[in-house]
């Protein structure tokens, strides 16, 4: 999996890394039980502080996407991904609400917004990357 970070982005690097790993899992590019690079190795490969990688991995572990073993290292959760919980639904609503509000302010109608969401959903499932 190729990690692409935008060092000029307002989005923190650890968040960009988390998002890319989650997208890799969602697209099937990263399989359950698959090894991920160690904190030190990934930090060295992409040229960021190891604490940044550690923060991303810790948050991914807390959310159930990866497991961290002292002997085995970091792996995509072999037991499958976390399911829908009320906390997850609340988090999604909190993240989507401002995006939807902005779309309304920009006169994006509901059907067009749903088309955008559907297109992104399909792109991720088919492992395609949006060219931004």
Task: Describe the strand order of the beta sheet including 66-69 as a list of residue ranges.
Answer: 35-36, 73-76, 66-69
Q: Nearest Cα to 51, choosing from 67, 37, 40, 36? A: 40
34: DSSP letter: -
The Cα–Cα gap between 14 and 17 comes to 5
Distance of CA 7 to the CA centre of its chain: 17
pLDDT at 72: 81
Give residue 127's pLDDT band: very low, low, confident or very high (50, 70, 90). Answer: low
Q: Which residues pair with 74 in a beta bridge?
A: 36, 68
Query: Coil, helix or strand for 68?
Result: strand
Q: Does residue 81 surpass a pLDDT of 90?
A: no
pLDDT at 132: 42
Domain ranges of the chain: 13-76, 86-125
CATH fold of 13-76 reads Arc Repressor Mutant, subunit A (1.10.10)
Give residue 67's pLDDT band: very low, low, confident or very high (50, 70, 90). Answer: very high
Q: Nearest Cα to 19, choosing from 126, 132, 124? A: 124
pLDDT at 131: 44
pLDDT at 70: 84
Residue with tokens 């902005």: 102
70: DSSP letter: T
- Give per-residue pLDDT as tens, 16-52: 999 999 999 999 999 999 999 999 999 999 999 999 9
pTM listed for this prediction:
0.84
């Amino acid at each position: 999996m190729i990690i692409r970070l935008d060092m000029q982005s307002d989005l923190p690097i650890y968040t960009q890394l988390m998002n890319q790993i989650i997208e890799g899992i969602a697209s099937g590019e990263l399989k359950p039980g698959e090894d991920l690079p160690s904190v030190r190795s990934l930090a060295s490969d992409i040229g960021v502080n190891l604490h940044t990688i550690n923060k991303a991995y810790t948050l991914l572990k807390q959310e159930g996407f990866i497991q961290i073993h002292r002997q085995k290292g970091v792996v995509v959760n072999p037991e499958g991904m976390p399911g829908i919980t009320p906390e997850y639904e609340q988090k999604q609503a909190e993240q989507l609400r401002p995006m939807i509000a902005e779309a309304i302010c920009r006169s994006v109608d509901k059907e067009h917004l749903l088309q955008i969401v559907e297109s992104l959903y399909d792109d991720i499932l088919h492992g395609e990357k949006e060219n931004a």
